[in-house]
Amino acid sequence: MTEYVHRYEQLANKPVRFLLFIKKTPVPKTKELPDNIKCNFNKEIRIRDTLELLVEIKITETGKRQVRNENMLRLLKGAILNTKHVYVTNLNHGVHISFVTSEQLWVSDGHSLTLTNSKGNILHHLFDVSEYYGVHTVNSEGELIYVDKDWNINKISADNATKSTLIKRTELWEPWCICHSGSTGDLLVMMRYDTRNPTIPLSDVKVIRYSSTVQQIQTIQYHRTGEPLYSEPIYITENGNGDIVVSDTWNGVVVTDHEGKYRFTYTGPPEGLSFGIFMPSGICVDAFLNILICGRLDQTIQLINRDGLLLSILPTKQDGMVEPLGLGYDEKNHVVWMGSGMNNKLCVYRYIERQDYLA
């Protein structure tokens, strides 16, 4: 049955090939039916009748079948250092991480942007990237989207051969961090007024949602009370439930729903569980819709659920990770990668394991 299901998923839109597979696959021997069970089969099944039934089959677009993560995955009681250290050549820091595949990831250090494999070998290099933090993301086609030194948002093709400009910097607004939405294909951009203009308040910050055709379709800026939501945002990501998650240096981790309505702010662990001053930096989300937060000063990874409840704290100092800064979640292997603000060292932690659901 497992083999039939596997083939069906591969050939779901090719019913004839799937039927041929069933026809050619040997049927396992079965026990003789008890005498009290009567089965009547028509020995003369005509091909024409079969074909008439087959042409009535309608294939509709229903999206990919997905098994609920709570059935296939489970959280471990603690985190395991999966890969002790990966060193990326010519990288000074691990400021931000964006995955292309589980074997390829973009890592920035505030000066350049490097495409590396899981072993730390350089595959491609860019030098016109912005010096800020969460300034790059990867779309569903494997294309890199990043903010350059002139505050324009560019796109690099999946083969790294073609560069195009998606959004040009306006006279006053600068993109500070960006995120691609895997569910809608939209681009979330955290915009801020030109900080070199001393007459403009620092609190003038907003999230702009751009469609896949680069049309502005949403702006998120204020709390329901009219107060600014953000102060100094450095990273932005989107959760699987549509929530927009922003790491704000001074405000904490600010979460709004997909409509931009304020949900909650996470300002660190409760008293007695803290490892020091909480200053959020890198963020990412996992398959359970949990939010992972890099504590830059207290040197931790903090795991909260979709509603802001603290689930666990992972100290990283014991693993030689000084000033943890960038985070990236590998959706295939369910591990989290963390970069340092002090060197080119990357650590890989596992805190989720697969369950053999069929077993």
The CATH code of the domain that includes 142 is: 2.120.10.30
Neighbours of 232 (CB within 10 A): 15
The answer on pLDDT for 202 being more than 60 is no
* Within a domain: 45: yes
C-beta separation of 342 from 358 below 8 A: no
Residue 319 is given by DSSP the state G
Same domain membership, residue 149 and residue 39: no
Same domain membership, residue 152 and residue 286: yes
For residues 119-148, b (16+ Cβ closer than 10 Å) or e, as one string?
Answer: ebeeeeebeebbebbbbbbbbeeebbbbbb
C-beta separation of 297 from 304 below 8 A: no
pLDDT of residue 12: 58
Q: What is the rounded average pLDDT of the residues 131-141?
A: 94
* Within a domain: 359: no
pLDDT 10s digits, 233-257: 999 999 999 999 999 998 999 999 9
The answer on pLDDT for 38 being more than 60 is no
* Within a domain: 304: yes
Q: How many domains does the chain have?
A: 2
The answer on pLDDT for 324 being more than 70 is yes
Pairing of the two strands 173-180 and 187-193: antiparallel
Same domain membership, residue 322 and residue 290: yes
Rounded CA-CA distance 68/331 in Å is 14
The answer on pLDDT for 359 being more than 50 is no
Q: What percent of the chain has pLDDT over 70?
A: 80
Same domain membership, residue 87 and residue 231: yes
Residue range of the domain that includes 132: 75-354
More confident residue, 22 or 88: 88
C-beta separation of 189 from 153 below 8 A: yes
Half-sphere exposure of 51 (CA within 13 A, CB side): 3
* Within a domain: 65: no
* Within a domain: 63: no
Q: What is the rounded average pLDDT of the residues 20-36?
A: 64
Rounded CA-CA distance 81/86 in Å is 12
For residues 82-92, b (16+ Cβ closer than 10 Å) or e, as one string?
Answer: eeebbebeebb
Averaged confidence pLDDT in the chain? 84
Same domain membership, residue 80 and residue 49: no
* Within a domain: 40: yes
Residue 28 is given by DSSP the state P
Rounded CA-CA distance 294/193 in Å is 26
Q: How confident is the model at residue 9 (pLDDT cuts 50, 70, 90)?
A: low
* Within a domain: 69: no
Same domain membership, residue 294 and residue 168: yes
pTM higher than 0.85:
no
Neighbours of 29 (CB within 10 A): 5
- Choice among 22-31, 182-191, 258-267 with the minimum mean pLDDT: 22-31
Same domain membership, residue 260 and residue 347: yes
Same domain membership, residue 282 and residue 238: yes
Q: What percent of the chain has pLDDT over 90?
A: 49
Non-local CB neighbours of 158 within 8 Å, separated by 6+ positions: 100, 141, 142, 143
Among 27-36, 108-117, 314-323, top mean pLDDT goes to: 108-117
Same domain membership, residue 80 and residue 36: no
pLDDT of residue 356: 57
Same domain membership, residue 223 and residue 139: yes
Same domain membership, residue 115 and residue 28: no
- Choice among 13-17, 284-288, 321-325 with the minimum mean pLDDT: 13-17
* Within a domain: 186: yes
Same domain membership, residue 159 and residue 29: no
